[in-house]
Chain A
Amino acid sequence: NAGVTQTPKFQVLKTGQSMTLQCAQDMNHNSMYWYRQDPGMGLRLIYYSASEGTTDKGEVPNGYNVSRLNKREFSLRLESAAPSQTSVYFCASLASTVNTEAFFGQGTRLTVV
Chain B
Amino acid sequence: AQTVTQSQPEMSVQEAETVTLSCTYDTSESNYYLFWYKQPPSRQMILVIRQEAYKQQNATENRFSVNFQKAAKSFSLKISDSQLGDTAMYFCAFMKGWSGAGSYQLTFGKGTKLSVIP
For residue A97, CB closer than 8 A to chain B, the reply is: yes
Q: Is the interface of B mostly helix, strand, loop or mixed?
A: loop
A33–B106 touching, CB < 8 Å: yes
Interface positions of A from 50 to 106, Cβ below 8 Å from B: 50-51, 56, 58-59, 88, 90, 92, 94, 97, 100-102, 104, 106
Cross-interface CB contact of B50 among A44, A100, A106, cutoff 8 Å:
A100
Q: Is the CB of B50 within 8 A of A43?
A: no
B110 → A minimal CB distance (Å):
4
Q: A45 at interface (Cβ–Cβ under 8 A)?
A: yes
**Cα-based distance from A40 to B40 in the complex (angstroms):** 15
Q: Do A88 and B43 form a contact, CB below 8 Å, given A43-B91, A100-B50, A100-B95?
A: yes
Within 8 Å by CB of A107, from B43, B98, B106, lies: B43
Closest-CB distance, A5 to chain B (whole angstroms): 14
Q: Is the CB of A35 within 8 A of B108?
A: yes
Indicate whether B33 reaches chain A with its CB closer than 8 angstroms: yes
Bound CA span A44–B107, Å: 7
CB-CB under 8 A from B37, the residues of chain A are 102
Known contacts being A40-B9, A48-B104, A97-B97, is A106 close to B111, with CB within 8 Å? no
B104 lies within 8 A of A104 (CB): no
Let me know if B105 and A45 touch, CB within 8 A: yes
- What is the distance, in angstroms, from A69's C-beta to the closest C-beta of chain B? 19
CB pair A106 B44 closer than 8 Å: yes
Q: How many Å lie between the Cα of A58 and that of B96 in the bound state?
A: 13
Residue of A nearest to B89 (CB): A42
Binding site for B on A (CB under 8 A): 30-31, 33, 35, 40-45, 48, 50-51, 56, 58-59, 88, 90, 92, 94, 97, 100-102, 104, 106-107
Q: Beyond A92-B45, A101-B50: 8 further Cβ-contacts under 8 Å?
A: A30-B104, A43-B91, A45-B106, A50-B105, A88-B43, A90-B45, A97-B104, A107-B43
Residues on B facing A (Cβ under 8 Å): 1, 6, 9, 33, 35, 37, 43-45, 47, 50, 52, 91, 95, 97-98, 102-111
Nearest 3 pairs of A and B residues by beta carbon: A42-B110, A104-B45, A43-B108
